[in-house]
């Protein structure tokens, strides 16, 4: 059975609509465990076939308890195992068919090795170039272009941060609306400034001699990252004069 995300927010809204939840209620329910999740992220996961919420006659999404449970599992597998969405979707579909399948893991990739390793292998927040190209469905030329604009960058020790898969997918999604990678340099610059502000706040904690204080710095970084993402989304909505359903 898939694990249900913690937090009870949004259940009143679900009860008022025959057990179905709005995307805003789903967001509230998930944020207790996943503070960085956004409405755009939920919509993106829907576009990738990870969930299939119902639609009202006016086009609004309505999520069942199963949808929310599956969303929580998807986000958890991304966060804890750094798996590409394609792998997550195939795994969850197999589980829901009643098949006994092991959870795949992403391991360190060397030349000539498979990107995916058995579930018992330790997972790391890093993927290889070949795996990134495969997960994003792009070619070398596209990745080189994105790297030239700073949208995706290899790690100093080789490979890429696993979140590069999400970045690549969003760049592709924006491209469907005519927004080209070169147009996204301003977003990357803004993200770097926001990250710099967060790092400035937590830097003293990271340098502390006490291991518990350094651990607290990681938790504080995640908390601040979630707040900055929410603020950024709210500011964009305000600037555009829209309210996401």
What is the predicted pLDDT for the residue at 147?
A: 92
What is the predicted pLDDT for the residue at 18?
A: 56
What is the predicted pLDDT for the residue at 7?
A: 43
What percentage of residues in the chain have a pLDDT greater than 70? 81
Higher pLDDT, 209 or 1: 209
What is the predicted pLDDT for the residue at 105?
A: 52
Which residue, among 36, 5, 40, has the nearest Cα to 227 in the 3D structure?
36
Residue 20 to residue 13: CA distance in whole angstroms = 8
Residue 200 to residue 217: CA distance in whole angstroms = 11
Distance from the Cα of residue 80 to its chain's centroid: 11
What confidence tier does 143 reach under pLDDT thresholds 50, 70, 90?
A: very high
pTM: 0.51
Cα first-last separation, the chain: 30
Strand partners, 106: 116
Domain ranges of the chain: 11-81, 100-177, 180-245
pLDDT digits (tens, 9 = 90+) for 79-105: 777 677 788 888 888 888 887 767 665
Strand partners, 127: 160
- Mean pLDDT over 218-244 rounds to 85
Q: Which fold has domain 11-81?
A: Multidrug-efflux Transporter Regulator; Chain: A; Domain 2 (1.10.1660)
Task: Report yes or no: 129 and 162 within 8 Å, Cβ to Cβ.
Answer: no
Higher pLDDT, 190 or 123: 190
Mean residue pLDDT across the chain:
79
Higher pLDDT, 18 or 130: 130
Q: What is the dihedral of CA 82, 87, 93, 97, to 10 degrees?
A: -100
Which residue, among 85, 59, 64, has the nearest Cα to 165 in the 3D structure?
85
What is the predicted pLDDT for the residue at 111?
A: 36
- Look at residue 144 and tell me whether its pLDDT is greater than 90: yes
Higher pLDDT, 212 or 165: 165
Higher pLDDT, 132 or 104: 132
What is the predicted pLDDT for the residue at 53?
A: 92
């Amino acid at each position: 059975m898939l694990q249900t995300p913690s937090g009870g927010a949004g259940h009143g809204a679900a009860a008022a609509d025959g057990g179905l939840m709005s995307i805003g209620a789903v967001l509230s329910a998930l944020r207790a465990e996943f503070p960085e999740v956004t409405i755009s992220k939920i919509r993106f996961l829907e576009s990738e076939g990870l969930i299939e919420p119902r639609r009202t006659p006016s086009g609004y999404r309505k999520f069942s308890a199963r949808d929310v449970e599956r969303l929580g599992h998807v986000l958890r597998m991304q966060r804890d195992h750094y798996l590409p969405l394609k792998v997550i979707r195939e795994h969850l579909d197999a589980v829901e068919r009643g098949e006994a399948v092991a959870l795949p893991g992403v391991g360190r990739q060397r030349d000539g090795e498979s990107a995916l390793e058995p579930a018992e292998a330790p997972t790391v927040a890093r993927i290889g170039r070949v795996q990134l190209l495969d997960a994003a469905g792009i070619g070398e030329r596209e990745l080189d272009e994105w790297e030239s604009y700073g949208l995706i960058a290899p790690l100093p020790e080789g490979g890429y941060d696993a979140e590069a898969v999400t970045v690549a997918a969003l760049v592709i999604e924006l491209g469907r609306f005519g927004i080209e990678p070169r147009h996204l340099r301003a977003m990357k610059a803004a993200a770097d400034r926001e990250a710099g502000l967060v790092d400035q706040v937590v830097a003293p904690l990271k340098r502390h001699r006490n291991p518990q204080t350094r651990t607290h710095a990681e938790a504080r970084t995640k908390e601040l990252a979630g707040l900055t993402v929410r603020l950024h989304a709210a500011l964009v909505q305000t600037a555009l004069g829209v309210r996401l359903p």
